[in-house]
Structures are given as structure tokens and as C-alpha cells.
């Protein structure tokens, strides 16, 4: 029971990180119908900027953790958002209205480019981040001495995710930007006719996705303490799986999918084999797609001639 609870906490933390990345995929997919393959690498860049900023702060002597954390979050978010914007501007906007595969190929090229760019400028070695936020709360202790630990960093990850979810829901449902996003999602052409600046809306969607990915990158750096230039690939793959699982285009679905994927991964690693956790994730995806082709919260698509 204690072991189960511990895995539940680990899975939720991992799942909220996947969920944050997955939202970037699902928003972009919802609005322009393309798989933003470079999104995982945007997240990787967020993690790198986080580590670099921490190192800079260490050099200039800001060591009070809450302040440092806040600065790192802001810096990561701002610069990663710039990357998100630039990627869309360079690789996707010129291809708008092109045939379906063109932006995807461009995105794959962008992903390869970003990975190798970071590898060249920051080196191929694994970057460690010393554990900054230590300790946690022991929720329960079994007679055998197994303590269920809810560490502070896990709390922060889950709390930040919840706050961001609330903020995002507000932006999507209550602000003019959210309204134009939903309009573009339904019918981009019609939205443009009615005066919505479609290009700007799409750019901002990419920026929002990058912001969430940057937060996920910061959380991962703090949680695991090591990153390298390749983390974006698998995380992106799983986050996209999460988006599909939850029903692509649906934001609560992406979060739900992310949490499910995180839980599957945690429990599979704990109870079965850690080597095959990725296989389990994709296996579940295939099963879900067979029985629920539109994902858990997806709307069935109406095909029009």
C-alpha cells in the first residue's frame, strides 16, 4: 500500500510534466492540424536554459532558492518562448497552406537541427544540476520502515502545473486571445474573414506551448538533476502519445493523457520491468486507439466532402 502510494506520487509528478508538454502539441494540432515535431526539443532547450541560468546565478551569487527559482523560471520561459516563436516563423509559417506532409517534414528537420545545435554549443555531455530543493514530507510509514515521501520538488511540480492549468483555462475561455484561438481552431479561413489575425494567433499559440514546455523543462531539471541534448525526443514522443491518448485538440485531454502516461510509466517501472516502460506506454496507446479512436476526451471527427 505504501509502495503503491509512493508510485502514485511519482507517477503524478511525471504525468504533470508530460501533460505540460502535451498541451503544446495539442494546441498546435488543434489550431493548424500539424504535429509540431520540434516541440520536444523546445522543452529540451527550456531545460538547458534553466541549467545555464542556475549556473550564472551561482556565479553572481544569488543563492536564495525561492528567488533563484523565480528568476530561472522567468528567464527560461522568456527565452524558450522566443525559440518557440522563431521555430514557427522560420519553419512552419512559410508552409501554411501547403500539403499536409510539408510542415511535418520541416518540423522533423527543425528537431534534428535544434538537437545538434544544442549539442554543438553546449556539448554532448550530460549536464548535472546539484539538488537545490531537498527534503520533503513523509506522509506515511509502513511497519517495515518504507516511508512514503512527498518531496518538495514534487509538490512544486504538481502545484505549478495546477496553477498553469487554471491560468491556461482562463486564457482560453475568457480572453480575446483565447477566443481567436478557438475561432481559428474551428475554421481558420472564416476567422480570418471576420478579422481575426490568424498568423498572430498561431504565433501566440506556439509561444504559449513553448512557455509550458519551458516550465516542464525547468521542473525536469530540478526533479531529475541531469539533462542532455537528447531528452527532447523521448519526452516529446511520450507527450505526443499523451495528447493522442487524451484526444488530440482537447486541452484537458492532454493533461489527463499526460497523467495517465506518467502513472503507467511509474507503475510499470515499479511492478514489472523498468526496461520495457516505454513499450508499455505505446502498447497502451495502441489499445486505446483501437477502442477509442478519438482518444479519451476527443470529439469524434465529422468528415465532410
Sketch the per residue contact string, 3 through 42, with other proteins: x for CB under 8 A, - otherwise: --------------------------x-----x-------
Cβ contacts of 144 within 8 Å, gap of 6 or more: none
Q: Does residue 270 touch other proteins according to CB under 8 A? A: no
Question: How near is the Cβ of 279 to other proteins at its closest, in Å?
Answer: 5
CA 262 to chain centre: 12
List binders of other proteins among 205-234 (CB under 8 A).
233-234
Question: How near is the Cβ of 222 to other proteins at its closest, in Å?
Answer: 15
List binders of other proteins among 74-93 (CB under 8 A).
75, 79, 82-83, 86, 89-91, 93
CA distance 180 to 185: 8
List binders of other proteins among 166-205 (CB under 8 A).
none
Residue choice 4, 56, 63, 194 for contact with other proteins (CB under 8 A): 56
| Cβ closest to other proteins, residue 98 vs residue 173 | 98
List binders of other proteins among 239-268 (CB under 8 A).
240-241, 244, 248
- Count residues contacting other proteins (CB under 8 A)? 74
List binders of other proteins among 96-155 (CB under 8 A).
98-106, 108-118, 120-123, 125, 127-128, 130
Cβ–Cβ under 8 Å, residues 64 and 41: no
Residue choice 5, 68, 95, 207 for contact with other proteins (CB under 8 A): 95
| Cβ closest to other proteins, residue 264 vs residue 281 | 281
Cβ–Cβ under 8 Å, residues 181 and 203: no
| Cβ closest to other proteins, residue 86 vs residue 167 | 86
Candidate ranges 143-151, 178-186, 201-209, 272-280; the one touching other proteins (CB under 8 A): 272-280
Amino acid at each position: 500500500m505504501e509502495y503503491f502510494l509512493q508510485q502514485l506520487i511519482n507517477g503524478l509528478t511525471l504525468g504533470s510534466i508530460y501533460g505540460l508538454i502535451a498541451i503544446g502539441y495539442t494546441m498546435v494540432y488543434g489550431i493548424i492540424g500539424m504535429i509540431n515535431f520540434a516541440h520536444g526539443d523546445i522543452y529540451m532547450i527550456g531545460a538547458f536554459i534553466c541549467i545555464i541560468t542556475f549556473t550564472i546565478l551561482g556565479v553572481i551569487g544569488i543563492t536564495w532558492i525561492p528567488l533563484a527559482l523565480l528568476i530561472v523560471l522567468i528567464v527560461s520561459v522568456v527565452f524558450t518562448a522566443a525559440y518557440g516563436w522563431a521555430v514557427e516563423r522560420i519553419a512552419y509559417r512559410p508552409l501554411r497552406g501547403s500539403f499536409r506532409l510539408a510542415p511535418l517534414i520541416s518540423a522533423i528537420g527543425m528537431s534534428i537541427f535544434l538537437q545538434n545545435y544544442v549539442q554543438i554549443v553546449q556539448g554532448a555531455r550530460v549536464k548535472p544540476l546539484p539538488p537545490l530543493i531537498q527534503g520533503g514530507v513523509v506522509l506515511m510509514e509502513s511497519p517495515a520502515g518504507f516511508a512514503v515521501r512527498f518531496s518538495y520538488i514534487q509538490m512544486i511540480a504538481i502545484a505549478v502545473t495546477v496553477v498553469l492549468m487554471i491560468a491556461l483555462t482562463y486564457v482560453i475561455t475568457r480572453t480575446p486571445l483565447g477566443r481567436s484561438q478557438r475561432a481559428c481552431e474551428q475554421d481558420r479561413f472564416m476567422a480570418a474573414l471576420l478579422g481575426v489575425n490568424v498568423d498572430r494567433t498561431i504565433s501566440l499559440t506556439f509561444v504559449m506551448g513553448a512557455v509550458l514546455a519551458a516550465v516542464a523543462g525547468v521542473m525536469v531539471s530540478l526533479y531529475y538533476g541531469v539533462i542532455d541534448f537528447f531528452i527532447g525526443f523521448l519526452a516529446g514522443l511520450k507527450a505526443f502519445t499523451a495528447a493522442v491518448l487524451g484526444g488530440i485538440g482537447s486541452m484537458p485531454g492532454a493533461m489527463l493523457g499526460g497523467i495517465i502516461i506518467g502513472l503507467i510509466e511509474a507503475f510499470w517501472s515499479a511492478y514489472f520491468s523498468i526496461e520495457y516502460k516505454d513499450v508499455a506506454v505505446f502498447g497502451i496507446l495502441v489499445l486505446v486507439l483501437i477502442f477509442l479512436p478519438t482518444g479519451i476526451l476527443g470529439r469524434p471527427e465529422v468528415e465532410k466532402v
